């Protein structure tokens, strides 16, 4: 039997567009001889719909879309469609919505499998919306039995994970049914289908595939996982859909960070092995480009503005934007003050030239002076400090937003994760923007990505990469005036922000003075209020700022 995996990029709430896309892919799968085409979790409405799920009209529209999809199978005959969607719950108690896989064939919904395990950690809130399934059964297409699971249902294998999050393992449950229902299953290849909306973090495509391989081997089954692809706000779905053979080898794998349609044949034996995954930096680059492109596009925009300081963060963001949207859709804006070095302006201009983007220079000396003049009656007698420093990025933020308002382009924020962690950024200043493109990328990775951008030729001026990092908000300022060198800082932040280690554990693990560690952790705690007003951050690590990391502000936290 030929089964197609349709790795699509739906838009949340776009029922018409998603339905059209599903039918186009189903038609192509039919042309390729598939008897069944499988779409991702919640493909009909897009993932994650969040609180849209609490609106009755949203559920009704999803149910209407399924009727339309089922109708297509009546007309076309083949292939059958297995697709993720939402449905009203049947129970009178508990949540009113189900996350389901529906099997559509011969014009009707032939089978419904409700999601059994609902993740509720990090960025996942599924117990907020869905009633968990308590029953599961095998289904059958063209005489081939199939075990159907939805995303998290396959993430509780006791052979793979050291600690179980749930007391049941739906894969195990279905395989035990397979064993018992000998009349239907005897002599049939075991096939486990998993429809997913599994967001990206660096290294996850590899972890996910290893986990699926462990399941395939343990149960002697083909495991076919189709994952959503595309950016939805903070989340990037990498796709990387895959079919694993019962021996754990990869039968076929779809693209990462792009839509794809792949077919596998359960009767075929060997298929060419998939390539290894891209290396860390290349994978990260793919995620950031897709996340940026989809955020801008799905918000209904095409153009972006990037403030170019001559520094490495804004240079990298501009390079990502050009890859995501095309040079013609990116405008760089330089906004120097008296503390900006001449080299910085030249570096910014050179970057824009290398990228082929328009560059505008709006010097802010005079606005800065005028602000200081207005404040003079209140500030006189005080010395130049944080208030004056912060005026500069806030003027820049205001200018970028004025250009955004005037010309209908989104502003991309350029701060990195090291800055956002320590609060080394100005709220309503350099934090202004629609999307924090590299807000989940620590500074040392910003360097690695910048070298990746330059792998063929100089795009980001080498001077930008090599000069000591500086916010240039006062004469001769250096990041290291306020922070430890990034080689020391980043691992401390990673341990605290991403792994929740204590100060003592970090000092021990990294051989750093515990007082230095605590001084850094205090910066993290003190700047939570800034992060809660930040632009959405593209998530590329296990723990990014935003919806997956929820800390209170008005607290007393002992580091």
The strand pairing partners of 141, in sequence order, are 144
Tell me whether residue 456 or residue 554 sits nearer to a second copy (CB atom). 554
Task: Give the HSE-up count for residue 114: Cα atoms under 13 Å, Cβ half-sphere.
Answer: 18
With a CB cutoff of 8 Å and minimum separation 6, the contacts of 439 are 413, 415, 416, 417, 420, 534, 535, 537, 538, 544, 545
Phi, psi of 81 (to 5 degrees): -115, 125
Tell me whether residue 310 or residue 548 sits nearer to a second copy (CB atom). 548
Contact 201, 539 (CB under 8 A): yes
> Smallest gap, in angstroms, from Cβ of residue 336 to a second copy?
12
Contact 83, 93 (CB under 8 A): no
| Active-site residue, from 2, 115, 298, 417 | 115
Quick one: which of 110, 105, 115 has its CA closest to 136?
Answer: 115
| Residue 115 falls in the annotated catalytic set | yes
> Smallest gap, in angstroms, from Cβ of residue 67 to a second copy?
17
Contact 19, 175 (CB under 8 A): no
Extract the tokens encoding 494.
Answer: 């990673």
Tell me whether residue 233 or residue 490 sits nearer to a second copy (CB atom). 233
Tell me whether residue 104 or residue 547 sits nearer to a second copy (CB atom). 547
Instruction: Tell me which H or E stretch contains 99.
Output: strand 97-105
- d(CA 126, CA 382) in angstroms, rounded, equals 52
- d(CA 66, CA 23) in angstroms, rounded, equals 11
Tell me whether residue 79 or residue 536 sits nearer to a second copy (CB atom). 536
Quick one: which of 102, 106, 198, 185 has its CA closest to 146?
Answer: 185
| Active-site residue, from 41, 152, 283, 498 | 41
| Residue 151 falls in the annotated catalytic set | yes
Residue 20 CB coordination number (10 Å)? 12
Tell me whether residue 88 or residue 557 sits nearer to a second copy (CB atom). 557
Extract the tokens encoding 398.
Answer: 């205001």
Extract the tokens encoding 370.
Answer: 């005028």
> Smallest gap, in angstroms, from Cβ of residue 433 to a second copy?
9
| Residue 466 falls in the annotated catalytic set | no
Extract the tokens encoding 59.
Answer: 């559920």
Task: Give the HSE-up count for residue 74: Cα atoms under 13 Å, Cβ half-sphere.
Answer: 10
Tell me whether residue 4 or residue 52 sits nearer to a second copy (CB atom). 52
> Smallest gap, in angstroms, from Cβ of residue 183 to a second copy?
34
DSSP tag of 167: S
> Smallest gap, in angstroms, from Cβ of residue 403 to a second copy?
7
What residues are annotated to the active site?
41, 115, 151
């Amino acid at each position: 039997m030929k089964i197609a995996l349709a790795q699509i990029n739906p838009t949340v709430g776009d029922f018409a567009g998603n339905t059209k896309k599903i039918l186009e892919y189903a038609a192509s799968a039919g042309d390729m001889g598939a008897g069944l085409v499988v779409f991702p979790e919640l493909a009909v409405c897009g993932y994650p719909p969040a609180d849209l799920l609490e609106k009755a009209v949203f559920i009704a529209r999803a149910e209407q879309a399924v009727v339309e999809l089922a109708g297509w199978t009546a007309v076309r005959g083949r292939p059958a469609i297995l697709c993720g969607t939402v449905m009203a719950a049947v129970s009178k108690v508990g949540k009113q919505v189900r996350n389901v896989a529906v099997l559509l064939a011969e014009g009707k919904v032939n089978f419904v499998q409700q999601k059994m395990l609902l993740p509720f950690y990090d960025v996942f809130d599924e117990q907020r919306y869905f009633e968990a399934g308590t029953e599961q059964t095998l289904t059958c297409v063209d005489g081939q039995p199939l075990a159907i699971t939805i995303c998290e249902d396959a993430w509780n294998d006791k052979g793979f994970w050291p600690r179980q999050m749930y007391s049941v393992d739906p894969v195990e449950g279905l395989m035990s049914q397979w064993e018992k229902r000998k009349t239907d299953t005897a002599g049939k290849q075991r096939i486990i289908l998993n429809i997913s909306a599994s967001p990206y973090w660096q290294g996850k495509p590899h972890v996910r595939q290893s986990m699926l391989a462990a399941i395939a081997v343990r149960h002697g089954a083909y495991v076919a996982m189709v994952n959503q692809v595309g950016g939805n706000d903070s989340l990037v779905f990498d796709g990387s859909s895959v079919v694993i053979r019962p021996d754990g080898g990869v039968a076929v794998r779809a693209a990462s960070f792009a839509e794809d349609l792949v077919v596998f044949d359960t009767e075929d034996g060997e298929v060419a092995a998939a390539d290894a995954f891209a290396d860390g930096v290349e994978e990260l680059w793919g995620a950031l480009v897709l996340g940026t492109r989809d955020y801008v596009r799905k918000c209904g925009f095409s153009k972006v503005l990037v403030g170019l300081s001559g520094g490495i963060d804004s240079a990298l963001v501009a390079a990502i934007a050009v890859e995501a949207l095309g040079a013609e859709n990116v405008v760089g804006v330089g906004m120097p003050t008296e503390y900006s070095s001449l080299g910085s302006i030249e570096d910014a201009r050179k970057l824009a030239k290398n990228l082929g983007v328009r560059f505008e220079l709006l010097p802010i000396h005079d606005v800065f002076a005028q602000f200081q003049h207005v404040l003079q009656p209140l500030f006189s007698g005080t010395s130049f400090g944080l208030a004056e420093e912060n005026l500069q990025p806030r003027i820049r933020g205001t200018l970028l937003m004025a250009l955004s308002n005037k010309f209908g382009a989104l502003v991309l924020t350029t701060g990195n994760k090291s800055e956002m962690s320590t609060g080394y950024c100005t709220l309503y200043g350099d934090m202004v923007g629609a999307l924090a493109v590299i807000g989940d990328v620590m500074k040392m990775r910003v360097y690695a990505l910048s070298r990746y951008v330059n792998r063929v030729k100089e795009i980001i001026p080498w001077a930008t990469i090599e000069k000591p990092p500086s916010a240039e908000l006062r004469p001769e300022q250096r990041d290291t005036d306020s922070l430890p060198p990034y080689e020391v800082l980043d691992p401390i932040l990673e341990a605290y922000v991403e792994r929740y280690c204590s100060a003592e554990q970090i000092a021990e693990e990294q051989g750093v003075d515990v007082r230095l560690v605590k001084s850094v952790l205090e910066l993290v705690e003190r700047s939570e209020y800034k992060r809660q007003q930040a632009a959405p951050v593209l998530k590329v690590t296990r723990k990014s700022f935003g919806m997956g990391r929820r800390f209170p502000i008005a607290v007393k936290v002992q580091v």
